[in-house]
Structure 1
Amino acid sequence: MREVETMTGMVIRVSPVGEMDKRLVILTRERGKITAFARGSRRPGSPLMAVSRPFAFGQFSLYEGRDSYTLRSAEIINYFDALSLDMEGTCYGSYFLELADYYARENMDGTGLLKLLYQSIRALLKPALKNQLVQRVFELKAMVLNGEYTEKPPCPVSDSAGYTWEYVIASPAEHLYTFTLTEPVLEEFSRCVEINKKRYVDRDFHSLEILQTMTGGKVLK
């Protein structure tokens, strides 16, 4: 009998397989990015139906195979259901999942990226925080975790924008979303993050293209 492994993680990508199954990509604390098949999860009444969807965060019980895992069960702590009521917030969250998928690797310690992803999606649900600020903080911190950043902003900025850059680099995920910025400072900070991203990130993201359309081009890609 195969041994069951339990991992803490979040579903970051889902695709249908055959008539009744789903292929999940899960960012886990213990093993980084893994692929798991949820057998029968598209069948009405399947206990795996609800847990096999993007943003589901919790404990996943899995059987390990040669190239992938098979999902046995899951205890979900947070589905982030409130995000589905906000189309723009859902698009931002989907982009965060895409960027996490881009940076995550198999058999790595996924603790830092998983914490960042979880806290960032929570931040999208806070009315006091602008989605653009959450996006830029998430992007910069994801690049920091991958070692793709400069200690100082990559272009001349005000003291406030410079301090914001340094604060995001130095702070743990739990303390990232404890501030707001004025519009001019947010624009400066966003410009710096975009410069850094163009320097290191070599792909486009579907969710950002949708956001471009929704916001009339206000979201930078």
Structure 2
Amino acid sequence: MYTDTEGIIFKQIKTVNGRRMILLFSKKYGKISAGTGISEKGRGKSALAMRPFTYGKYELYKNRDSYNINGAEVIRSYYRIGEDVEKYMAASYVMEFTEQLLSENDPMPELFVLLTDFFEVIEARKKRYETLVLAYQLKALKACGHMPCVDSCVLCGAKDGLVGFHVKEGGLICEKCASALNHNDALIYDVNFGIVDILRYFLRNPLQRLEKLALDEKVEERLSRILKSYIEYHLDIRNLKSEGFVLF
């Protein structure tokens, strides 16, 4: 069956006879593996669509067990991401994180749009990419149904007096519940109203409105530790290859 889909390439692996295996985040089919003979080093329009940080349209041949990319064209190239090393590594980290979030053949159109929005915003941003990455991660968790509870105490439902984040329980906890817990638990973090407000602000606003927002570095570092612990505990996403080159 011949079909097409909008997509973003996660990575490429060279195989035999000049062919490649492509890991593609497609809007229509989700994360898929597809073979192709198209090289990103070529000069045709299909080659341009095989390059990193490109939002393209891909012509597929789909049979029962596999996909093949027969042709491609660029919808939008975010080539300026590659002109700044820190920006490139931040975007690479987000791509790797997104890949790990997705299951094969499970369409996630909301997350797909979020990723293209991220590319738009980070390409235009001049510095301090960490805040944008944290906002993306939180929004990506929500899009995939793994959002921590940030509106009320995850244990009793109280909306006031939120003083901690309980990684194992999956969200904020109030002062009363926190006082009854083991404070030696490494997966319970103290938070203040500032971090609570930041989490909610990230969720209420599109990435485009966060383009110029940069958090205080100490707040950024603490929020990063909380999200990293939550993601490792609940999703078992850890030790990303690009993690050592970026951010926190």
1:38–1:48 Cα contact (<8 Å) kept: no
Deviations 1:91-145 (A, max 9, x none): 1111111111111123322211111211222222233562111221122222222
2:54–2:79 Cα contact (<8 Å) kept: no
Q: 1:86 to 1:162 in 2, by over 3 A?
A: same
Q: Equivalents in 2 of 1:44, 1:115: separation in Å?
A: 28
Q: 1:188 to 1:65 in 2, by over 3 A?
A: same
1:189 aligns with 2:187: no
TM-score relative to the length of structure 2? 0.74
Deviations 1:167-190 (A, max 9, x none): 333445555546433334333433
1:210 aligns with 2:225: no
1:55 aligns with 2:53: yes
Q: Percent identity?
A: 22
Q: Equivalents in 1 of 2:64, 2:45: separation in Å?
A: 25
Pick one of 159, 182, 190 that aligns with 1:156. Answer: 190
1:107-118 correspondence runs (5 A): 107-118=105-116
1:53-132 correspondence runs (5 A): 53-127=51-125, 130-132=128-130
Structure 1 stretches lacking a partner, 5+ long: 212-218
In the alignment, residue 234 of structure 2 is paired with which amino acid? Y
In the alignment, residue 60 of structure 1 is paired with which amino acid? Y
Q: Equivalents in 1 of 2:14, 2:101: separation in Å?
A: 23
The residue that corresponds to 1:165 in the other structure is 199
Aligned residues: 211
- Aligned to 2:68, what secondary structure does the other structure show? strand
Q: 1:68 to 1:176 in 2, by over 3 A?
A: farther
Q: 1:48 to 1:21 in 2, by over 3 A?
A: farther
- Aligned to 2:70, what secondary structure does the other structure show? strand
Q: Equivalents in 2 of 1:74, 1:82: separation in Å?
A: 21
Q: CA RMSD in A?
A: 2.5
Query: Which structure would you say has the larger Rg?
Result: 2
Deviations 1:35-85 (A, max 9, x none): 111224368556533222332212111110232211122221222111111
With 123-132 and 19-28 compared, the bigger mean Cα shift is at 123-132
Q: Equivalents in 1 of 2:84, 2:98: separation in Å?
A: 21
1:14–1:53 Cα contact (<8 Å) kept: no
Q: Equivalents in 2 of 1:9, 1:47: separation in Å?
A: 15
Deviation at 1:5, TM superposition (A): 0.8
With 90-99 and 185-194 compared, the bigger mean Cα shift is at 185-194
Q: 1:170 to 1:107 in 2, by over 3 A?
A: farther
Q: Which runs of 4+ in 1 moved over 6 A?
A: none
1:40–1:46 Cα contact (<8 Å) kept: no
In the alignment, residue 120 of structure 1 is paired with which amino acid? F
Q: 1:199 to 1:177 in 2, by over 3 A?
A: farther
The residue that corresponds to 2:16 in the other structure is 18
1:58–1:78 Cα contact (<8 Å) kept: yes
Q: Equivalents in 2 of 1:25, 1:117: separation in Å?
A: 15
Pick one of 128, 139, 143 that aligns with 1:141. Answer: 139
Q: 1:43 to 1:96 in 2, by over 3 A?
A: closer
Q: Equivalents in 2 of 1:130, 1:191: separation in Å?
A: 17
Q: Equivalents in 2 of 1:192, 1:168: separation in Å?
A: 15
Q: 1:132 to 1:44 in 2, by over 3 A?
A: closer
In the alignment, residue 52 of structure 1 is paired with which amino acid? M
TM-score relative to the length of structure 1? 0.82
With 200-209 and 171-180 compared, the bigger mean Cα shift is at 171-180
